Amino acid sequence: MVSFVSLLLVGIMFPALQAKQFTKCELSQVLRGMDGYGGITLPEWICTIFHISGYDTQTIVNNSGSTEYGLFQINNKLWCRDNQNPQSRNICDISCDKLLDDDLTDDMMCAKKILDNEGIDYWLAHKPLCSEKLDQWLCEKL
């Protein structure tokens, strides 16, 4: 019983990383400010994010010697810094771990930098899966 109480206290004092599995409509609400940025519509963003991370903020993908983090699958070689790749250019000036929480403010700022520098083709899923027939990615509740 003592160990359970100790674990409970540790859990309260050090809360777990806040992750979120968004729904399409929740994510549409949060990303409204990105609608039209760089010529990319909100349904294009929603579709792309679905295909790269499944709307899960804790998605981590190891990919040919680099790692991609969070909803937008932001890479640790150029855009964020982690312990695995301390030599990252860290263009977004952010720890990769910050891309795994439920606060998407910094994720969106970094995604906009990527869009400005690389274009939407940075996200490989966009062109084949999210460049047309986007009605299914609209949220009727907005």
Please tell me the distance from the alpha carbon of residue 123 to that of residue 112, in angstroms, as a whole number: 12
In a domain, 1, yes or no: no
pLDDT at 142 over 50: yes
Q: Is 93 left (phi over 0), alpha (psi -120 to 50) or beta?
A: left
Output the average pLDDT for the chain.
87
Q: Residue 119: which residues within 8 A CB-CB, separation 6 or more?
A: 38
pLDDT of residue 7: 32
Query: Is residue 3 a part of any domain in this protein?
Result: no
Question: What is the sign of the dihedral through the CA atoms of 27, 29, 31 and 36?
Answer: positive
Task: Look at residue 26 and give its three-state secondary structure.
Answer: helix
- pTM listed for this prediction: 0.84
d(CA 69, CA 59): 6
51 lies in which domain range? 18-137
> Residue 77 falls within a domain, yes or no?
yes
| pLDDT average, residue stretch 79-91 | 92
What's the pLDDT score for residue 86? 84
